[in-house]
Amino acid sequence: MDNFNLVVAIASRALFDLNESHRIFESEGIEAYAVYQIDHESICLEPGVAFPLVKKLLALKNPLTHKPLVEVILLSRNSADTGLRVFNSIQQHQLPISRAAFTHGESPYRYVKPFGAHLFLSANPEDVKQALKSGCAAARILEREEREGQSYSISDDQLRIAFDGDAVLFSDEAEKIYQSDGLESFKENERLSKETPLKEGPFKGFLQALHQLQNLFEPSECPIRTALVTARSAPAHERVIRTLRHWKIRIDEALFLGGMNKGEFLQAFGADFFFDDQPVNCLSSSQHVATGHVPHGVMNSDEDIRS
């Protein structure tokens, strides 16, 4: 098997716009869906929310060997028969994706670990939750309610990925204190714990893999840029900085917003993708940049999210 520095698993509804066929599946059933997909299998699917991210990931090459650094694997609930349209579209879009698992209605999350994936992106919330439980960074793709003719603005060829902090890069230990005891207790705890690194969250491994890719390049020529975009502010910033230092992970930009809306800041950063655990933040951010909801931690105990 090829050795890639980063492996990303993605569901077909995250990679392509399958809204029409999914509508048929939900309203008319699986047989009508299968007929529709087979009848349209020569018609190329339009890009989905995660398509620009995937293109940039696949374009990353080792600066010395010029070999690909990232493999993208398709994990789909389609059968091999109905999934033929997806593979045809992959070829028509000239995406170098060759490995796939078609599970015919069952959750494909169980193949995340055998493929060695660092990240799983899907439109199915249950598949995402199961992948997170298995130890893989995972997020639910949010569809953007766009006005016709508008789409996310991708500024250049550099891959830019932004992360929330608590319950995404870090554990939700501090967030639990904030939710149970309030802001002042949270600030005091973070001040007293500033020398104690936060425990890792579900996306620490993915950030670490990105960091290892960054180290292959000269800083001035690196095609990857990362950002921490958090509601934290001083004095709660120090523990975060010390935690990243303890992990020996570089983050290019850190925005401590003190509760301000993240969307415009993410747009200013030029994020290709943003990961956050809080549904309200995700819904807001998805109006500005492609966003993935991470259903992990105290803020997702009883709350679901709608796209």
Residue where the block lists tokens 């399958």: 18
User: Which residues touch 240 (CB under 8 Å, ≥6 apart)?
Assistant: 165, 170, 198, 228, 230, 232, 254
73 DSSP β-pair partners = 9
Query: Of 171, 168, 255, which is closest to residue 207 (Cα–Cα)?
Result: 168
164 is catalytic: yes
* Cα(279)–Cα(141) distance, integer angstroms: 12
* Cα(140)–Cα(162) distance, integer angstroms: 15
- Which residue type sits at 248? K
- Which residues in 198-281 belong to E strands, given as ranges? 224-230, 253-256, 273-276
Selected catalytic residue, list 2, 17, 156, 164 = 164
7 DSSP β-pair partners = 71
- The token pair at 100 is 């796939």
Query: Of 131, 143, 108, which is closest to residue 14 (Cα–Cα)?
Result: 143
User: Which residues touch 137 (CB under 8 Å, ≥6 apart)?
Assistant: 118, 119, 120, 202, 203, 205, 206, 294
* Cα(13)–Cα(58) distance, integer angstroms: 18
Give the DSSP letter string of 100-139.
Answer: EEE-TTS--GGGTTTTT-SEEEES-HHHHHHHHHTT-EEE
- Cβ(275)–Cβ(139) under 8 Å? yes
Catalytic residues: 164
